[in-house]
Amino acid sequence: MNLEGELARLKGQLQNARTLKDRAEGQLQALEQEKKAILAEMAALGVSPEQLDGEVARLEKEIADLLGQARALIPRELLAGPGQGSSR
């Protein structure tokens, strides 16, 4: 390959690398803004990143407890599927 062709190929590769770098920097900036927004929302809810796992576990337990309470309020006949309840 001649030197001019090699130089042109290297210039093309350099331009591609610059394009990829610019795209990655744009994505990084967008992700940093998203992270900042999420952290602000968490702060507004009174939850820190360190508390997140515990808060999720607490909310899952609360949901399970409330579902159990809701099931307890529904008459057993309504919980049984068709043909499994009392005959009328």
Q: What is the pLDDT of residues 65-83, one digit of tens each?
A: 999 999 999 988 877 767 6
Say if CB 71 and CB 79 are below 8 A apart. Answer: yes
Q: How far apart are CA 58 and CA 19, in angstroms?
A: 45
Residue-wise pLDDT tens digits, 8-61:
999 999 999 999 999 999 999 999 999 999 999 999 999 999 999 999 999 999
Structure tokens at 55: 């808060």
pTM exceeding the 0.75 threshold for the entire prediction:
no
Please check whether residue 48 is in contact with residue 42, taking contact to mean a CB–CB distance below 8 angstroms.
yes
Instruction: Give one DSSP letter per residue of 38-68, joined into a string.
Output: HHHHHHHTT--GGGHHHHHHHHHHHHHHHHH
**Assigned token pair, 59:** 């909310």
